[in-house]
Amino acid sequence: MEAKFSGAVKDVISLSRLEAIRIGNNFISPEHLVLGIIQQGENSAIKVLTGLNVPIQLIVKDLETSLPREMNPQDLHGSIPLTKQTEKALKITYLEEKLINSEIKLPIRQIDTLHLLLAILRDEDAATTKILKGFNITYDVLKDKALEFYRNNSQEEEISTIKNEPKEEVSPSENIITDSSSKEENASQLTSNEEENILEQSSVHLEFEIPDYLSDEEAIKLIKEGILLANSTYRGLGGSGLKVNDIRVTEPHFELIEN
């Protein structure tokens, strides 16, 4: 049985769109995903970061400062495209869930916000990764704390906290961490079609290269161990530049081909 996005991760994807609008960006980058994680508030990633005494509001400030303010939020409507880095991070969440599950057999299989944050941190050259590294949050640090969290919270399931119909307003950054009722009041209107469009952008139906931050050796090791994804089709790994195609969020399927 393949893991699905948790309710909290779906919240984060929706909230990342709102963060892009609030800041005036016509794209959704990993920075917006992290802001979405913080905005969602009630999730495993925030619990782990809080346990590490990370200054959340300083992270918010640095993330916002790193993003250009190019457009008036009132001019941003409808679907907003994901950057390639964001697409990669969303794909790699499946890998992170498999890796965690290979070490700790959890009774609840879900892709949660910790998997998402780990996937973001895999890209060492990304601006988001460098910002978080400034607060001593690296992939290895988070991975260790994530394993500890899962051992102590094996029965915990992330759920959506956005229950009411969202309104067309976005909260200011200083109030980005709010209680459930505030989030419900401040979230923007997101139709089911818009959410499907956002989620669809994290599904790739085109051939793409495995991210540079995964070495051939690491990719081969993961594939041989059966960790990458179920239903993988192995056609040989002749040299570098491995590619995969036909990746769906709802029904993960990897097909490896030669260059």
Mean pLDDT by 10 residues, the chain (259 residues): 85 93 93 96 94 95 93 77 92 92 86 96 95 97 95 81 50 34 34 48 38 56 41 31 34 36
Q: Can you give the pLDDT at residue 248?
A: 33
Q: Where are the domains of the chain?
A: 4-202, 203-259
Going 231 to 235 to 241 to 244, the CA torsion angle's sign is negative
Q: Can you give the pLDDT at residue 168?
A: 39
Q: Can you give the pLDDT at residue 197?
A: 52
Whether 34 contacts 77, CB under 8 Å: no
With 0-12 / 13-18 / 19 or more C-beta atoms within 10 angstroms meaning exposed / middle / buried, residue 163 is exposed
Residue 100's CB: how many other CB atoms inside 10 A?
23
**Tokens 């990370």, residue located:** 54
- Topology annotation, domain 4-202: Double Clp-N motif (1.10.1780)
Please give the single-letter amino acid code of residue 239. G
The DSSP bridge pattern shows strands 255-257 and 110-111 to be unpaired
Q: Can you give the pLDDT at residue 142?
A: 97
Is the model's pTM score more than 0.75? no
Q: Can you give the pLDDT at residue 254?
A: 40
- Reading the block at residue 147, the tokens are 């394993």
At residue 81, the 3 state secondary structure works out as: coil
CA nearest neighbour of 92 among 120, 114, 112: 120
Whether 54 contacts 137, CB under 8 Å: yes
